[in-house]
Structure 1
């Protein structure tokens, strides 16, 4: 069974259990999907007649398409598979794994949380650009999306670090996190 088809309560029980998966990468992906869904709802409510006239509805529809949660839910499953493969390289059976295969497995384990972080950054940028056009009665849900995605990005980064990225990759990802923090701080300022 995939994580995306589990009831929320069961996913959380699995996450809390003493078992290797789901782990931090899957938690980051699920958190990102929750943030995307919250912001998508705000866009769905930006479909009034005046939103159509102003063009805000078109922006909302574009945002809804970008915030599709399926890729993030698939990333949760992919992370679990990648981690299981990575564990296989640590077992006694690792003698049957070639150096090339081990390198490919390690690269995949690093790539998945990296893509989650990048997806969070991209989605936050687009939600942030949408905020001035959002139905003002539901802007808070778009902001919830930003905050949830920001947390998911930081969680994904922790999973990246476990997979020993190159120094230049860490620097690049930290830059994305700083960019996210600036947007998140700006959203928080608007609420003061």
Structure 2
């Protein structure tokens, strides 16, 4: 996790200021950092749907489950927030490494920097898919008045997987290990398909509550 003042400040500024920072002619925050924010908001909406459900007599039988899923949703939100800073740190590592003089040491360092740039979106995908699985289970046990918020949560999580796949695909060609690059790209594509299937299942289950 990155801990510099600059990356930490990205989590403390207003939505308006973050959008302005993303619009600025600077490399960070970029798509990876935005994906982290999108994921955090997605998890937050899932938490909201849960919080408007818990404590109601109608759903009392699920209280133990709510406690468990609530902890997981909160953890997902925190992990997405951490990934905002991690993405910025990974970019800075790649940028500084690319400026090194050509040498065997640079080639080795670039492989490490590229792997770091790939690891952030892969981790974001892992968190997003876990979130979507929780949302799929939570849907039938949640207040139907919050169904659109739960759907928005799932859609944002699916968007994180797609954004992460973009970032994986742009970086894997730089890996010297082409077999590993192909495996990573294939795994990312498979996860993208999983996200699409999960979103479709969540939307299908919600149809009875939507006009």
Asked if these proteins are the same fold (TM beyond 0.5), I'd say: yes
Q: 2:118 aligns with which of 110, 115, 122?
A: 110
Who is 2:73 aligned against?
67
Equivalent position SS for 1:89: helix
Who is 1:182 aligned against?
197
Q: Give, in whole Å, the separation in 2 of the partners of 1:52 and 1:94.
A: 63
Shift of 1:33: 0.6
Please list, as runs of the form range in 1=range in 2, the aligned pairs for 1:33-52 lying within 5 A after superposition: 33-51=40-58
Q: Give, in whole Å, the separation in 2 of the partners of 1:58 and 1:46.
A: 13
> 5+ residue gaps in structure 1?
none
> 5+ residue gaps in structure 2?
1-5, 174-180
Equivalent position SS for 1:78: helix
Q: Which moved more, 1:116-125 or 1:42-51?
A: 42-51
TM-score (norm 2): 0.83
Change (3 A) 1:8 1:184: same
Shift of 1:118: 1.3
Q: Which has the higher contact order (CA 8 A, sep 6+)?
A: 1
Q: 1:119 aligns with which of 118, 127, 149?
A: 127
Q: 1:135 aligns with which of 140, 143, 151?
A: 143
8 Å contact kept, 2:117–2:171: yes
Q: Give, in whole Å, the separation in 1 of the partners of 2:23 and 2:137.
A: 36
Equivalent position SS for 1:21: coil
Q: Give, in whole Å, the separation in 1 of the partners of 2:124 and 2:42.
A: 12
TM-score (norm 1): 0.90
Q: Give, in whole Å, the separation in 1 of the partners of 2:195 and 2:87.
A: 23
Q: 1:149 aligns with which of 154, 157, 170?
A: 157
Equivalent position SS for 1:19: coil
CA deviations over 1:66-115 (Å, ceiling 9, x no partner): 12222111111110111011011222556695443332221111101110
Q: Which moved more, 1:96-105 or 1:31-40?
A: 96-105
Q: How many residues align?
A: 191
Who is 1:86 aligned against?
94
